[in-house]
């Protein structure tokens, strides 16, 4: 943070400690910290350092700041990104008011940008997914590990940080079950994992992980070549395999999440089961995949729209 003796800065730190005390996830705390710093630095540049100096006009100027902001490539922030930054400020001032640091909450009536209902940029077909899954060199130990990782993503649709947090004892390979511990929202959930994924994970556990393990073994499932837990470069690793498949699509770990959900829906799964697989708090988040999965819509279109049927000879 840029300003010294900044009262907003000190209160933000208290706010983050409160979040930890009431069991917010570290991901949520980190996001709130980052967006809080954005706001405090913006205020400092304008000579504002105390919460009492922030009024509705300041909050509105800050909203317009992000609306007008342009990234290095000249593109504006998405409304979803704008909303994330503003929501952090709104929650910060709500906490300040509740703890009597301010007499009134200037952000109480802040109208949030409406988030776009965006479709996933890329979703793999079943055959494209197979091409990506076949990219790791399974003649090498780390290739077996990577194949097990890709198969786990494809079978379960778990998030990147959920996979990185998997432990050996989270797996019940005999029953084909996987436990996600403290997923998004600090919620645990049990998921099925398909037989093929089970086979690759079992092979990794039998042939590769014992050679990677460094004592003391902390039980993390997927390890680096140095025996450490894998970190954030997993997205880049998956993206390289997608590009190597030469299918004209790109994406990292979330690509398999989108693909799993879409293919299950096209296979006839109810959205509530997809919601459970993905760990979505609300069905609304899951319903985006009903707009991606258009197989049934195509069938209806082909059977009812005149232009979808071959033209008769007398029409040509």
| Residue positions annotated with a catalytic role | 159, 184, 254, 257, 280, 289
User: Which residues 6+ apart lie within 8 Å of 83 measured at CB?
Assistant: 112, 113, 115
Give the Cα separation of 117 and 115 in Å (integer).
6
**What does each C-alpha distance from 298 to 11, 294, 302 come to in angstroms?**
55, 6, 6
Residue 141: φ, ψ to 5°? -55, -45
Give the Cα separation of 135 and 242 in Å (integer).
8
Give the Cα separation of 86 and 187 in Å (integer).
25
How far out from the chain centre does Cα 106 lie? 31
Angle between the N-to-C axes of helices 26-44 and 56-68, in degrees from 0 to 180, rounded to the nearest 10: 100
**What does each C-alpha distance from 80 to 15, 84, 86, 89, 185 come to in angstroms?**
23, 6, 10, 15, 19
Residue 222, classed as helix, strand or coil, is coil
Residue 171, classed as helix, strand or coil, is strand
**What does each C-alpha distance from 114 to 60, 80, 111, 304 come to in angstroms?**
16, 8, 9, 35
CB 188 within 8 A of CB 223: no
């Amino acid at each position: 943070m840029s300003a010294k003796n900044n009262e907003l800065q000190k209160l933000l730190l208290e706010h983050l400690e409160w979040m930890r005390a009431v069991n917010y996830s570290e991901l949520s705390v980190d996001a709130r910290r980052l967006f809080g710093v954005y706001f405090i630095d913006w205020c400092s540049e304008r000579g504002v350092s105390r919460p009492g100096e922030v009024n509705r006009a300041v909050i509105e100027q800050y909203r317009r700041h992000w609306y007008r902001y342009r990234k290095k490539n000249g593109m504006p922030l998405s409304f979803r990104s704008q909303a994330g930054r503003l929501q952090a400020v709104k929650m910060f001032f709500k906490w300040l008011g509740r703890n009597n640091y301010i007499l009134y909450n200037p952000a109480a009536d802040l109208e949030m940008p409406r988030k776009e209902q965006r479709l996933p940029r890329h979703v793999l077909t079943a055959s494209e997914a197979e091409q990506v899954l076949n990219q790791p060199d399974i003649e090498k130990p780390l290739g077996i590990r990577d194949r097990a990782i890709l198969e786990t993503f494809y079978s379960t649709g778990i998030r990147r940080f959920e996979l990185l947090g998997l432990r050996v004892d989270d797996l019940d390979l005999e029953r084909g079950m996987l436990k996600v511990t403290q997923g998004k929202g600090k919620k645990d959930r049990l998921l099925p994992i398909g037989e093929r994924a089970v086979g690759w994970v079992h092979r990794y556990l039998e042939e590769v992980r014992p050679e990677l393990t460094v004592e003391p073994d902390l039980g993390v499932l997927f390890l680096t070549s140095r025996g450490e837990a894998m970190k954030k470069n997993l997205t880049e690793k998956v993206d390289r395999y997608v590009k190597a498949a030469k299918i004209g699509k790109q994406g990292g770990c979330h690509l398999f999440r989108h693909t799993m959900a879409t293919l299950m829906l096209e296979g006839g799964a109810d959205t509530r089961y997809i919601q459970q697989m993905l760990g979505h708090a609300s069905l609304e988040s899951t319903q985006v995949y009903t707009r991606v999965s258009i197989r049934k819509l195509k069938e209806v279109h082909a059977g009812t729209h005149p232009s979808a049927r071959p033209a008769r000879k007398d029409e040509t």
